[in-house]
């Protein structure tokens, strides 16, 4: 079988199961008695194993198989869970992630050596738990005790009536016991093949376990079936024998008049070998066991509610939508220029349709931030263990949605902020206790909508940031002069942590202290047309606040004119537009400013920024007041054209040095307008 066509699906689903395994283990670590979580972890490991085996990745299947053995003992109360087992399972998840990443990159899965983990899991399954905190029941004995999992079939009165009617018609009722091979990985697939074969020979009227349990692999290696057939027992055995990975088949003709139950077939030695979901195991009975099929029938409508779409297709759809918006604006200009009534009416309808279409396309591109947030609980857990700290991570608003292009980029900044909070923010338990705080530090990751923006906050109840220490470090590193440091208020001083190479760490560790984290955060966020700020109080904690646009594809902008050229300023960055006289401009410390409602606002002259020849000031000057965080500035322009919907186009690597522009857009008349980067202009 050529598995390459299924590779993308395998990788996507594998990463989903790995994330679920991580989440489940974190939850289990908090409450080791929660068997429902163990069952969920078992199902994810079991599905991942079956998928890997199907794709031919035997090392992944082997490791997940050993994980299943341990998890099965835990969920059946035959093994006491402790921190050592949790740690080993976490290592298994990490190794699985590496192997799957290797497979995705075209490398062999066995680049990661998992032999030691397999041995450790195997020992645990046999009752040899290293330094276990709780008593572990030997695994080998319980598994043998579990052999009667495929019991004799108890016949109901309805079953006996069906068998009697079959006998009157000259048909046989045969009890078939099938034992799968010990090495069988895909038990559900094998059971389906057996049931399918039996369906071709006659009617299956009963199975133990039920068809649903067979499909979900809730059985050991053996299962029992009663079939009404015209075939002889030997013919039934031969038909099943043609299926691979069948260890043993036993048949027994049932006498409906006998009082005794059909005799259970001889039991075989057993080793756990559950595998992934396969094709449903068909109906267990024509009429009697129909309920076994109902759950699957209810799931079908739900499965059709969503489809996987290639990201490139979404990008193409977005680009086509952008072209449609550009041409719509062009048609509007033609209609206004030539005053064509029919065209204007048609464009009004087209405007409604394109707006609805645009909203749908934008929503399709929206992804919950949970896709990024989900990986951080495990990271915080590992950092806390490494630093010998007690940290509780709280996540809020993970259902908040962002454009996919933004989602792809925010992972690293959030990771740096969380690392910073765990390392620099949250104190060690003894220190917290001495301060009268709980020994466990609280770190929060919060997302919420604010207008056309999404705000993501990383909070902690730690030591806070000492503004005096920041000032002295900045002066010591030569980043600012002592005079500049003295003039700074505490809020300005704290923002110095975002300067390149700045760090207050006394030693370099794997977690932080290399002086790159906060600079990376600011650079990444500003590249996304966002803003990052920090608020802090000594011994109360810190709040890092990231503000991001909902989307980076189609935005509302104010079109302005500077001499002959048109520019776009994102509407989300604009506070207001005002008219001023040249006499309203004052000079403070060699910088031009205006006073607006009692607030001093610095002036940015576009002519100077763009380095174009100065033209005599008009009697009325247009100023666009913009903001980045708490800071404001007034951009002087020659004319205000009006608000317009624009499609952002990347400038490409050739213009990467132009820091004052975030991109460009195509206007309705075909001209190009550059989009101003407000944050870069205000620096």
**Which residues are tagged catalytic?**
46, 68, 420
Per residue in 67-94, is it b (16+ CB within 10 Å) or e — as a string? bbbbbbbbbeebbbbbeebeebbbebbb
User: Closest Cα to residue 203, out of 231, 182, 222, 244?
Assistant: 231
Q: Nearest Cα to 183, choosing from 271, 279, 70, 67? A: 271
Q: CA–CA separation, 546 vs 416, rounded Å?
A: 12
Phi then psi dihedrals of residue 534, to 5 deg: -140, 140
Give the list of residues 6+ apart from residue 580 with CB closer than 8 angstroms, or none: 594, 620, 621, 623
Please, which residues bridge with residue 562 across strands? 565
Q: Please choose, from the candidates 314, 210, 208, 211, the residue with its C-alpha nearest in 3D space to the C-alpha of residue 265.
A: 208
Please state, in angstroms and rounded to a whole number, the distance separating the CA atoms of residues 74 and 32. 10
CB 459 within 8 A of CB 443: yes
Per 3-state DSSP, the chain is made up of helix, strand and coil in percentages (nearest 5) of 45, 20, 30
What are the φ and ψ backbone dihedral angles of 352, each rounded to 5 degrees? -65, -45
Gap between the terminal Cα atoms of the chain: 59
φ, ψ dihedrals at 151, nearest 5°? -75, 175
Sheet holding 202-208, edge to edge: 202-208, 222-229, 172-180, 246-253
Cα distances from 73 to residues 79, 272, 510, 655, in angstroms, run 5, 10, 36, 61
Sheet holding 565-570, edge to edge: 639-647, 554-562, 565-570, 672-676, 661-666
Question: Coil, strand or helix: which one is 89?
Answer: helix
| Residue closest to 14 by CA, chosen among 95, 96, 72 | 96
What is the CB neighbour count within 10 angstroms for residue 320?
A: 12
- Alpha-carbon span 124 to 87, nearest angstrom: 13
Neighbours of 261 (CB within 10 A): 13
Neighbours of 249 (CB within 10 A): 19
């Amino acid at each position: 079988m050529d598995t390459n066509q299924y590779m993308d699906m395998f990788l996507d689903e594998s990463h989903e199961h790995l994330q679920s395994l991580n989440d489940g283990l974190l939850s289990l670590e908090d409450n080791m008695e929660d068997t429902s979580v163990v069952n969920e972890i078992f199902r994810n490991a079991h599905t991942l194993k079956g998928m890997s085996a199907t794709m031919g990745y035997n090392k992944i299947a082997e490791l997940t198989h050993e994980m299943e053995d341990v998890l099965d003992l835990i969920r059946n109360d035959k093994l006491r869970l402790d921190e050592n087992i949790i740690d080993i399972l976490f290592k298994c998840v990490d190794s699985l992630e590496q192997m799957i990443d290797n497979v995705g990159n075209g490398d062999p899965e066995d680049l990661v050596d998992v032999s030691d983990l397999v041995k450790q899991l195997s020992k645990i399954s046999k009752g040899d738990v290293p330094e276990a905190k709780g008593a572990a029941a030997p695994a080998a004995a319980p598994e043998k005790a579990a052999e009667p999992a495929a019991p004799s079939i108890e016949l109901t009165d309805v079953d006996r009536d069906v068998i009697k009617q079959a006998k009157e018609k000259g048909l046989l009722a045969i009890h078939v016991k099938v034992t799968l091979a010990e090495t069988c990985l895909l038990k559900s697939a094998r059971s389906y093949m057996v049931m399918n074969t039996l369906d071709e020979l006659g009617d299956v009227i009963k199975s133990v376990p039920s068809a649903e349990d067979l499909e979900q692999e809730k059985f050991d290696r053996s299962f029992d079936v009663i079939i009404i057939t015209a075939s002889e027992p030997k013919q039934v055995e031969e038909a099943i024998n043609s299926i691979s990975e069948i260890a043993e088949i036993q048949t027994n003709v049932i006498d409906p008049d006998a009082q005794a139950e059909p005799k259970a077939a001889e039991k075989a030695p057993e080793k756990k070998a559950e595998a992934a979901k396969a094709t449903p195991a068909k109906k267990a009975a024509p009429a009697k066991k129909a309920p076994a099929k109902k759950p699957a029938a209810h799931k079908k409508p739900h499965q059709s509610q969503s489809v996987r779409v290639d990201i490139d297709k979404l990008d193409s759809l977005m680009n086509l939508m952008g072209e449609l918006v550009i041409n719509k604006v062009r048609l509007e200009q033609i209609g206004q220029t030539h005053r064509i009534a029919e065209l204007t009416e048609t464009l009004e309808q087209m405007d409604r349709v394109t707006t609805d279409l645009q909203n749908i396309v934008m929503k399709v591109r929206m992804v919950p931030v949970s896709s990024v947030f989900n990986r951080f609980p495990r990271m915080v857990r590992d950092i806390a263990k490494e630093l010998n700290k007690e940290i509780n991570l709280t996540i809020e608003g993970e259902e908040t949605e962002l454009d996919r292009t933004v989602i792809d980029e925010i992972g690293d900044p959030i990771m740096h902020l969380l690392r910073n909070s765990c390392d620099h923010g949250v104190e060690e338990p003894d220190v917290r206790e001495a301060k009268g705080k709980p020994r466990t530090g609280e770190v929060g990751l919060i997302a919420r909508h604010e207008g056309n923006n999404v705000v993501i906050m990383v909070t902690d109840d730690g030591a806070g940031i000492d503004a005096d220490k920041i000032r002295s470090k900045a002066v010591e590193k030569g980043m600012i002069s002592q005079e500049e440091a003295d003039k700074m208020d505490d809020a300005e001083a704290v923002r110095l942590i975002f300067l390149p190479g700045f760090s207050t760490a006394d030693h370099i560790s794997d977690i932080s202290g290399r002086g790159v984290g906060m600079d990376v955060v600011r650079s990444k966020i500003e590249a996304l047309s966002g803003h990052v700020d920090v608020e802090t109080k000594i011994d109360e904690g810190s709040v890092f606040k990231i503000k991001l646009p909902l989307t980076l594809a189609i935005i509302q902008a104010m079109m302005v004119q500077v001499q002959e050229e048109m520019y776009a300023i994102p509407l989300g960055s604009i506070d207001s537009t005002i008219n001023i006289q040249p006499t309203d401009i004052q000079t403070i410390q060699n910088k031009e400013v205006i006073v607006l409602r009692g607030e001093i606002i610095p002036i940015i002259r576009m002519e100077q920024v763009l380095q174009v020849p100065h033209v005599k000031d008009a009697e009325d000057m247009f100023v666009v007041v913009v903001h980045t965080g708490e800071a404001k500035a007034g951009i002087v322009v020659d004319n205000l054209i009006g608000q317009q919907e624009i499609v952002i186009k990347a400038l490409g690597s050739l213009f990467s040095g132009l820091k004052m522009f975030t991109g460009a857009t195509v206007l309705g008349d075909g001209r190009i307008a550059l989009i101003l980067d407000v944050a870069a202009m205000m620096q």
